[in-house]
């Protein structure tokens, strides 16, 4: 797998082991009930999307379901409770699958979504919600979802936009940060890749950003999740791809019934499923992730016909092999060769648009060449400015910064050619800062940074920032964050050198 997937796996393992301030597992979804502080925010939007998925499932005939990217298993638990289906979860994170087993008694496996370890057609329905925007290889993931689904695929992503120039600009500057919204899609990206699928908006307007009452949230869910056509201003997409034309049926629940059941399906903080399932319940659906060969159990491992061993911890197999190579474009070409030419071309074009190199090997960036600005991610306090050299910004606010592309290498110094001009500020008042993030760091932190003086005289200066003697400098730096100045001014960053 690629470097981004390896780094994201590390990040997710930490995230799904996190506990809240009250000492219980800090949930990704509102598993403890709407408004719980022991779960992540945006609960109105999260439950709106789940409600939309449940309505689509209510119109399908199915007895088994796989959730790819299922986090702690809330959606499969709902599906089992509401529809009586046999459910399975999977995630890049082994910790996430262990939480699903502990909290909800759901069998699962840690997987690389480009090579799912499930038999072809193993599940009636496959759901993949808010995952495609995060993965390194969205096209290969999409093909795997379709391979293991016998009857239907339901796919959602909020990262749908209608302005191609906006999408291209976003894809150009993304730095490949772990688990970021790495991919941004246009409807014309998805439609030819999912022929026959219905593409519907998740919501017809943004959900409330701030805390709201349950009554107001219910009104939002019942009012704003029914649009049938994608359009600017509407939120995201839910794609319903019927693999079997006979899988659709009349709905069995009203919207109010589904919503009531959704809101009532919670667990108490700190509770555990009384009898988590053994791996034997899942084994008939599993296969070797690349060869699709039959697996056998050997103690605390699963073994494929070639002798490859996959560890099993807490009855959850781990098929994620960080040493495996990332899928190549040539492999995808071979895989789609049998597809109708228009679909094959669309899949390859989407792969090309979403491709992002693992790391930037160069030691010098001359930002007067616009192509060398790729992968540099300024925050919203650095606004583009005309008339400068290289990166030309107007800094606003007190903390403007730009993140580099992924570097993943040893660093001893950083050198910048920088110009700063703020007429109303003393010449010697400017301070810049360089932060770094290593493999074991979750984010940039003040302790892992070096400050330097930035003359505010409107002239270019070369600043060499020594890192080598800092006690917290890692053996390999993944990303740098450059804070060129600590206040409002004009900023020109002309050259960056690394060594």
Which CATH number do you get for residue 21? 3.40.50.150
Asked whether residue 326 is domain-assigned, the answer is: no
State the CB neighbour count (10 A cutoff) for residue 199. Answer: 18
- Is-contact 400 482, C-beta < 8 A? no
Among the listed residues 137, 167, 57, 153, the one whose alpha carbon sits nearest the alpha carbon of residue 355 = 137
Per-residue pLDDT band for 425 (boundaries 50, 70, 90) equals: low
Specify the pLDDT at position 426.
Answer: 66
Q: Are residues 40 and 134 in the same domain?
A: yes
Q: Residue 303's beta-bridge partner residues?
A: 296, 309
Here the CATH number for the domain that contains residue 467 is 2.60.120.260
Per-residue pLDDT band for 422 (boundaries 50, 70, 90) equals: confident
DSSP for 322-373 reads TTSPPPPHHHHHHHTTTS-HHHHHHHHHHHHHH---S----SEEETTSGGGG
- Residues 112-165 pLDDT 10s: 999 999 999 999 999 999 999 999 999 999 999 999 999 999 999 999 999 999
Q: Are residues 194 and 287 in the same domain?
A: yes
R_g (Cα) of the chain, nearest Å: 24
Specify the pLDDT at position 85.
Answer: 97
- Residues 236-294 pLDDT 10s: 999 999 999 899 999 999 999 999 999 999 999 999 999 999 999 999 999 999 999 99
Q: Are residues 311 and 375 in the same domain?
A: no
Asked whether residue 358 is domain-assigned, the answer is: no
Asked whether residue 111 is domain-assigned, the answer is: yes
- Average model confidence (pLDDT) for the chain? 94
Q: Are residues 153 and 15 in the same domain?
A: yes
Per-residue pLDDT band for 60 (boundaries 50, 70, 90) equals: very high
Per-residue pLDDT band for 427 (boundaries 50, 70, 90) equals: low
Q: Are residues 310 and 376 in the same domain?
A: no
Give the β-pairing of 237-242 and 479-483: unpaired
What's this model's pTM, rounded to 2 decimal places? 0.93
Dist. CA 456–CA 485, nearest whole Å: 9
Asked whether residue 341 is domain-assigned, the answer is: no
Instruction: List CB contacts of 296: < 8 A, sequence separation 6 or more.
Output: 302, 303
Q: Are residues 307 and 377 in the same domain?
A: no
Q: Are residues 306 and 377 in the same domain?
A: no
Whether 89 shows a pLDDT value over 80: the answer reads yes
Instruction: List CB contacts of 480: < 8 A, sequence separation 6 or more.
Output: 403, 404, 407, 411, 414, 434, 435, 436, 437
Instruction: List CB contacts of 122: < 8 A, sequence separation 6 or more.
Output: 64, 66, 148, 150, 285
**∠ at Cα 152 (151, 157), nearest 5°?**
165
- Is-contact 385 439, C-beta < 8 A? no
Domain span at residue 157 reads: 3-317
Asked whether residue 464 is domain-assigned, the answer is: yes
Last residue within a domain, chosen from 249, 283, 317 = 317
Asked whether residue 333 is domain-assigned, the answer is: no
Whether 430 shows a pLDDT value over 90: the answer reads no
Q: Are residues 217 and 131 in the same domain?
A: yes
Last residue within a domain, chosen from 317, 352, 387 = 317
Q: Are residues 270 and 370 in the same domain?
A: no
Dist. CA 189–CA 192, nearest whole Å: 7
Last residue within a domain, chosen from 259, 284, 317 = 317
Specify the pLDDT at position 428.
Answer: 64
Asked whether residue 435 is domain-assigned, the answer is: yes
Whether 306 shows a pLDDT value over 90: the answer reads yes
Asked whether residue 176 is domain-assigned, the answer is: yes
Q: Are residues 368 and 303 in the same domain?
A: no
Number of separate domains in the chain: 2
- Residues 322-354 pLDDT 10s: 888 899 999 999 999 999 999 999 999 999 999
Q: Are residues 304 and 447 in the same domain?
A: no
Q: Are residues 264 and 371 in the same domain?
A: no
Whether 456 shows a pLDDT value over 90: the answer reads no
- Environment class of 398 (CB within 10 Å of its CB; exposed 0-12, middle 13-18, buried 19+): exposed
């Amino acid at each position: 797998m690629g470097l981004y997937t390896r780094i994201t796996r590390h990040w997710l393992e930490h995230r799904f082991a996190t506990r809240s301030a009250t000492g219980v597992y800090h949930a990704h979804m509102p598993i403890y009930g709407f408004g719980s502080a022991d779960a992540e925010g945006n609960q109105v939007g999260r439950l709106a999307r789940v409600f939309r998925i449940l309505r689509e499932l209510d119109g399908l005939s199915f007895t088994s379901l796989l959730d790819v990217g299922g986090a702690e298993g809330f959606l499969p638990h709902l599906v089992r409770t509401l529809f009586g289906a046999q459910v399975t979860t999977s995630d890049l994170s082994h910790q996430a699958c262990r939480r699903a087993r502990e909290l909800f008694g759901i069998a699962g496996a840690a997987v690389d979504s480009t090579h799912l370890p499930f038999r072809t057609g193993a599940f009636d329905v496959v759901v993949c919600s808010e995952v495609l925007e995060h993965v390194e290889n969205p096209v290969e993931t999409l093909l795997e979802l379709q391979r293991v689904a016998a009857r239907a695929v339901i796919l959602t992503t909020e990262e749908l936009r209608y302005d191609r120039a906006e999408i291209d600009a976003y894809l150009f500057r993304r730095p490949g940060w772990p688990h970021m919204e790495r991919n941004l899609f246009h409807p014309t990206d998805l439609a030819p890749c999912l022929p026959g699928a219905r593409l519907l908006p998740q919501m017809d307007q943004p959900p409330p950003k701030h805390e709201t009452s349950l009554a107001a949230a219910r009104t939002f869910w019942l009012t704003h999740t029914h649009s049938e056509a994608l359009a600017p201003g509407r939120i995201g997409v839910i794609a319903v791809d019927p693999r079997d034309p006979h899988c659709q049926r009349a709905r069995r629940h009203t919207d109010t019934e589904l919503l009531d059941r959704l809101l009532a399906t919670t667990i108490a903080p700190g509770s555990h499923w009384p009898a988590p399932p053994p791996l034997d319940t899942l084994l008939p659906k599993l296969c070797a992730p690349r060869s699709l060969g039959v697996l056998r159990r050997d103690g605390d491992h699963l073994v494929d016909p070639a002798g490859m061993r996959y560890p099993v911890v807490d009855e959850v197999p781990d098929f994620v092999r960080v040493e495996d190579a990332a899928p190549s474009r040539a492999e995808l070409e071979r895989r789609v060769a049998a597809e109708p030419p228009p679909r094959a071309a669309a899949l390859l074009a989407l792969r090309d648009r979403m491709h992002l190199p693992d790391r930037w090997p160069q030691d010098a960036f001359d930002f007067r060449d616009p192509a060398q600005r790729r992968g540099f991610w300024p925050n919203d306090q650095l606004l583009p400015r005309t008339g400068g050299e290289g990166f030309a910004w107007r800094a606003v606010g007190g903390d403007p910064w730009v993140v580099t592309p992924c570097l993943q290498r040893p660093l001893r110094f950083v050198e910048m050619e920088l110009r700063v001009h703020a007429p109303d500020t003393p010449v010697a008042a400017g301070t810049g800062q360089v932060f770094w993030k290593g493999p074991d760091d979750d984010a940039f932190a003040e302790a892992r940074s070096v400050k330097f003086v930035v003359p505010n005289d409107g002239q270019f200066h070369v600043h060499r920032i020594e890192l080598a003697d800092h006690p917290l400098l890692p053996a390999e730096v993944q990303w740098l964050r450059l804070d060129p100045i600590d206040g409002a001014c004009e900023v020109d960053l002309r050259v960056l050198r690394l060594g």
